[in-house]
Amino acid sequence: MVSLPRPGRGVARAATLAVAAGAGLASYAAWEARQYTLRRVSVPLLPPGHAPLKVLHLSDIHMAPDQRAKQEWLRGLADLGPDLVVNTGDNLAHMRSVPVVTDALGGLLDVPGVYVLGSNDYYSPGMRNPLRYLLPDDGRRNTQVPQLPWPELKERFGSAGWLDLTNGFGSLTVGGTTIAFAGVDDPHLGYDDLDRVAGPADPAADVRLGVTHAPYLRVLDQLARDGYDAIIAGHTHGGQVCLPTLGGTGRALTTNCDLEPARARGLHRHPADSSPGDDGSAWLHVSAGLGTNPYVRFRVACRPEATLLTLT
* pLDDT band for position 7 (cuts 50, 70, 90): low
Give the pLDDT mean for 33-52.
97
| 261 within some domain | yes
Q: Of 249, 232, 251, whose CA–CA distance to 309 is shortest? A: 232
d(CA 59, CA 304): 10
| Domain that residue 241 falls in | 11-311
| 214 within some domain | yes
Percent share of the chain, pLDDT over 90: 78
| 290 within some domain | yes
Q: What is the pLDDT of residues 194-223, one digit of tens each?
A: 999 999 999 999 999 999 999 999 999 999
- In this structure, the number of other CB atoms found within 10 A of the CB of residue 32 comes to 18
Cis amide leading into 215 (omega within 30)? no
| 5 within some domain | no
CB distance 190 to 209 below 8 Å: no
| 61 within some domain | yes
Give the pLDDT mean for 271-299.
94
| 168 within some domain | yes
d(CA 206, CA 229): 10
Residue 170 sits in a domain of what CATH number?
3.60.21
Please say if the pLDDT value at position 133 is more than 70. Answer: no
Rounded to 10 degrees, the C-alpha dihedral 149/156/77/288 comes to 40
Please say if the pLDDT value at position 1 is more than 70. Answer: no
Output the pLDDT for position 142.
Answer: 75
Name the domain count of the chain. 1
| 247 within some domain | yes
| 1 within some domain | no
